[in-house]
Structure 1
């Protein structure tokens, strides 16, 4: 099969069960504090919508395991999330997944894996070097950086132990914890999960928008460069109607680009 032949391929269904421990662990892993009782105390718990991405991680992994691309070189390019209903504090979430698009970037292909449930729709865009050149469409361009100075700038400091904590949610790839595995992947040391970094940024963005982070309704961003545990992100944000456009950088290097988050009152 060439890369284009994977478009439309179903990746199956899966039901994932959890109790209140997992969304609390998730909130702590992405930067919530013990004082954020409605994120970390089961009696008041509101589940962060980005927790859904840990429940659905099986889908992009399933595509790699099926042989669509070389899992050693493919990278997570972009993530999108649309919230349909609040996730329960505990229970079971049934999901289905398919390859919604495959884009031809010339020397690489981008596979879009979409997971749907009654609570959310999420799409992983996976950049696969060496899989392009099959004659397909190039796909949409990334959202450009907004014109003008940002409306606000926010510091977001990651924790040195954050990747070790986040991997307990299911993404156990060794490069996030093992120095030897990180070096084999071309990194000087273990690095943050992109989805952890992205979720961490939504907490201060919600506060700046006067919203609760559980009021997130739509989220999108491109993973531009790695973040290492302990790094401090400089987040720039621009109001764009009901949405907030954002970028994040570490020491002047962009790590999240083409970001956009939308919150609504809960």
Structure 2
């Protein structure tokens, strides 16, 4: 049950969910799952340390598929309308490399709940010995309960980017990424996509974010499996088959970044940190 918030009245508000425990779960996976994930976010057959079990290094963003149960659990408890809620932003902090296979125990809770006026933002925090992952879920129509607005969006870096790279998606990418766990119909069914005002199925936001780390790592001279911190805000959907531009500010092991298509920004306020080899 949600933890009681001393600032609320007897009438339930989104703030009531602050601190709510979402339970624990142990998820088991094997090398096949990690390789499928790598292929789904853009690894190529020649990236042997991402797709060949004898040399396998698991992409740290694979953790986000293992922990997807937690934001789903909050939605199922009725904290917000799952038909209108949006994935606003994502953060991942890597504590230790994921093993090639095994079982990972996770604990989830609701962190802060922010009042944006026209919406509420719920933070879902998932913790394990390997990572801490934080979802920010934007719930339209749930704001106005008198809570704190929370932090503002990160400011755009000054000046021209230090480097650029291309993010190339393929037409089957959403269909492939669905097999890693998120099977929401808007990523495969044209009718479902039309129901949210999109002309065709959209790519998963977490797929776009994770796929960005591969060309970004290459541009920085890093390895994508050496990712230790990642964050970004979802500005607009990417359609499978789109090509986007990654603009990066920074060098070596850390960069701020955004991702844009011809239609505008799709990821903003991005930050990636890679361990130095």
* TM-score, normalisation: structure 1: 0.98
Aligned partners of 1:255 and 1:153: how far apart in 2? 15
Question: What is the SS of the residue equivalent to 1:189?
Answer: coil
Given candidates 201, 204, 224, the residue that maps to 2:212 is 201
Matches within 5 A, 1:128-167: 128-167=139-178
Question: What is the SS of the residue equivalent to 1:160?
Answer: coil
- What's the CA shift for 1:265? 2.4
- What's the CA shift for 1:262? 0.2
- What's the CA shift for 1:25? 0.2
Match of 1:107 in 2: 118
**Does residue 89 in structure 1 map to residue 97 in structure 2?**
no
- The CA deviation string for residues 35-62 of structure 1, in whole angstroms up to 9 with x for no partner, is 0000000000000000000000000000
Compared CA separation, residues 210 and 161, structure 1 to 2 (3 A): same
Given candidates 249, 252, 255, the residue that maps to 1:244 is 255
Match of 1:256 in 2: 267
Aligned residues: 266
Match of 2:76 in 1: 65
Aligned partners of 2:45 and 2:39: how far apart in 1? 8
- The CA deviation string for residues 153-177 of structure 1, in whole angstroms up to 9 with x for no partner, is 1111101000000000000000100
CA RMSD of aligned residues (A): 1.0
Given candidates 38, 51, 55, the residue that maps to 2:49 is 38
Match of 2:182 in 1: 171
**Does residue 122 in structure 1 map to residue 125 in structure 2?**
no
Match of 1:185 in 2: 196
Question: What is the SS of the residue equivalent to 1:89?
Answer: coil
**Unaligned residue ranges in structure 1 (runs of 5+):** none
Aligned partners of 2:217 and 2:128: how far apart in 1? 24
CA contact (8 A) 2:254 2:271 kept: yes
Aligned partners of 2:199 and 2:207: how far apart in 1? 19
Match of 1:217 in 2: 228
- What's the CA shift for 1:241? 8.2
- The CA deviation string for residues 48-78 of structure 1, in whole angstroms up to 9 with x for no partner, is 0000000000000000000000000000000
Of 202-211 and 59-68, the range deviating more from structure 2: 202-211
